Amino acid sequence: MNGEAILPYLIIIPLFGAFSMPMVNLLGRKSREAWAVIISGATLAVGSAMFYSVWENRGIIVYTLGAKSPLGQANFPIRIVWEVDLFGALMVFMVTLVSFLAVLYSLGYMKHDTGLDKYYTLIIILELGMLGIAITGDLFNFYVFLEIMSIASYALVAFRNDTWEGIEAGIKYMFVGSIASAFILLGIALLYGQYGTLTMSYLALKLAESPSVTAKVALALFIAGLLFKSGASPVHMWLADAHPAAPSSISAMLSGLVIKIGGIYALARILFSIYGASISVKTVGWVIIIFACITLVIGNAMAVIQNDMKRLLAYSSVGQIGYILLGLGIGLAAYGSQTGEIAMAGAIYHTFNHALMKALLFLVAGAVIHQLGTRNLNELSGIAKTMPKTTFAFLIGAAAIIGMPPLNGFASKWLIYESSAIFNPILGAIAIIGTAFCTAAYVRVLYTFFGRPSESVMKAKDPEGTMLWPIILLVVAIIVMGLFPWQISEKIMIPAVKALENQLAYVSTVLGGA
């Protein structure tokens, strides 16, 4: 299939869905829900077709807005380009998949809330912003999509505005997130002032030709802003409030997608594709590694002491972001070597796996909250008796996130452990410590779930179909991916790393060898 022809529909379909939602809403509740499912389903179809096409052709798709070629009369790009390599395509697939499941889940989960036309519009806009970040090859376009994603998620975190915690978390997230976005915009402004271009690939060329202090300042601003967005320690505090306060379908998208697309993916893209040739990758790699180690330990350790189920999952997300950052950092510090490649493959693989696992865990948490009305773990003892399917799904998700061998989390964590142990044994030890904390946290939850049923739990039962099916699909995906870990790593993740590391191809595809 021709990837270039279908690429713009990744943006067109969600935009169309979001813009037409106010009118579809006039037809009533059923049509609005059906519309949201149709739109996100169509986006999933386009996203998976795009992923397949990029994976099959092993090439980079370039799409120019406004004309056939990105170049003007001169020989440099003047138009906005969208550029998708295998890494970007994988992220597109991940975003469309989890978003579709979250929309499906919302049908049952959100039915007692009001203002749902706004909810579905925002959830589609959120998906749109993330898709835009994954496909764009233009720095300012990236910023616009980042803001679309961020503003939609501020609104969604504070969606339940009759609860005090929704408002509090929303305000905190908005203030912190706006400052982070301002950092990124300032970085872009500095780069534009210095080099006069906003196309990522042409900027990479300019940067390699004439490095400057401005570029380094801009890089520092990018790293700071994007670490904020990805929820790395010591700036993870908004995340621990935002994820519990949001509706669970939104927590699944925030934790599974937003922090990775807006944080990890953007960081990897900027570091590898723009700055790859013009900075000391070793220094930057170590900066990332230091933040990764702090994140890893703090996130997982804080997860152990939580009593609130969703807060525990939120801190666990911080911890897992630590692993992904560790892989990214080693991938940079050991750039071009086998170790670096494995570490980066582990990071990408873990990004994808964690999106599935954390979406599953948050959806399960949502089902439990929907049934029992409490997030306090102390009151949830023994739900294995009354909600067996939900508990089983949680068991699978928890085992996968710890990294039990038959499930998908094992392979991705193994790649990160292996490479960090080869790169520097101390980092390997820190990674293991993080996992020990993570295991403690999840075992604690499971111990509660399988305990003696408390009275409030006796009336609970498994959730309805629209909430159960996304959970089942994610469980199946986790188990099936767990059966073929090394094949997936060989066939998808390693090529994705090769595509990411091949900065020359990224630059020359747009410039056409100029």
By CB under 8 A, name the binding residues for other proteins: 8, 11-12, 15-16, 18-23, 25-26, 63-68, 117
- Smallest gap, in angstroms, from Cβ of residue 18 to other proteins? 8
CB 96 within 8 A of CB 124: no
The residue (of 26 and 213) whose beta carbon lies closer to other proteins is 26
Contacting residues for 356 by C-beta, under 8 A, at least 6 apart:
98, 256, 400, 408, 474, 477, 478, 481
Nearer to other proteins, 14 or 322 (CB): 14
Least distance in angstroms from the C-beta of 111 to other proteins: 21
| Cβ(96)–Cβ(48) below 8 Å | yes
Pick the closer one to other proteins by CB: 67 or 514: 67
Nearer residue to other proteins within complex by CB, 16 or 76: 16
Cβ(378)–Cβ(447) below 8 Å? no
Closest CA to 52 of 492, 381, 363: 492
Least Cβ distance, residue 64 to other proteins (angstroms): 6
Rank residues 22 and 373 by Cβ distance to other proteins and give the closer one: 22
Q: How far apart are CA 355 and CA 154, in angstroms?
A: 20
Q: Would you tell me how many other CB atoms lie within 10 Å of the CB of residue 234?
A: 10
What is the closest distance, in whole angstroms, from the C-beta atom of residue 19 to other proteins in the complex?
4
Residues in the chain: 514
Choice between 27 and 432, CB closer to other proteins: 27
CB of 33 to other proteins, least distance (A): 17
| Nearest Cα residue to 500 out of 492, 458, 105, 148 | 492
Which one, 57 or 69, has the nearer CB to other proteins? 69
Can you spell out the DSSP letters for 272-333? IIISTTTS-HHHHHHHHHHHHHHHHHHHHHHHHT--BHHHHHHHHHHHHHHHHHHHHHHHHH
Smallest distance, other proteins to C-beta of residue 21, A: 7
CB contact set of 229 (below 8 Å; sequence gap of 6+): 146, 150, 177, 180, 258, 259, 262, 263, 266
For the CB of residue 32, give the shortest distance to other proteins in the complex, in Å.
Answer: 12
Using only the alpha carbons of the chain, give its radius of gyration.
Answer: 22
Q: How far is the CB of 121 from other proteins (least distance, A)?
A: 9
Which is nearest to 195 in space by CA: 217, 211, 219?
Answer: 211
Of 49 and 208, the one with the shorter C-beta distance to other proteins is 49
